[in-house]
């Protein structure tokens, strides 16, 4: 199966309430995560997470589908295609 590099940006509102759900999902897909960068906003109730992942298209789709089920989460993603 061909693996692709994906960049996923997450904005989590109501962070205290939804962070455990986000963390659980990211842990389930941890084998694909190459890097993770998180920025909490201490004065507000949101956080920003950027993921760099390497996985096949189906696994990436499953991750995004599960994250999109969290009501207070905004998500954008892109695939980076390798030029060989």
Q: What is the pLDDT of residues 23-63, one digit of tens each?
A: 999 999 999 999 999 987 776 788 899 999 999 989 999 99
**Phi (first) and psi of residue 28, to 5 degrees:** -60, -30
**Confidence band for 75, pLDDT divided at 50, 70 and 90:** very high
Q: Structure tokens of 44?
A: 């507000």
Structural domain 3-80, CATH architecture? 2-Layer Sandwich (3.30)
Q: Count the alpha carbons within 13 Å of 64 in the hemisphere toward its beta carbon.
A: 17
**Confidence band for 74, pLDDT divided at 50, 70 and 90:** very high
Domain boundaries, the chain: 3-80
pTM (two decimals): 0.85
Which long-range contacts does 30-36 make (Cβ < 8 Å, 24+ apart)?
Answer: 31/55, 32/59, 32/60, 32/63, 34/5
């Amino acid at each position: 199966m061909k693996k692709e590099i994906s960049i996923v940006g997450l904005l989590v509102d109501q962070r205290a309430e939804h962070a455990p759900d986000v963390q659980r999902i990211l842990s389930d897909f941890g084998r694909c995560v190459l890097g993770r960068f998180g920025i909490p906003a201490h004065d507000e109730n949101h956080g920003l997470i950027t993921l760099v992942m390497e996985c096949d298209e189906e696994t990436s789709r499953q991750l995004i589908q599960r994250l999109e089920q969290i009501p207070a989460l905004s998500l954008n993603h892109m695939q980076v295609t390798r030029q060989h």
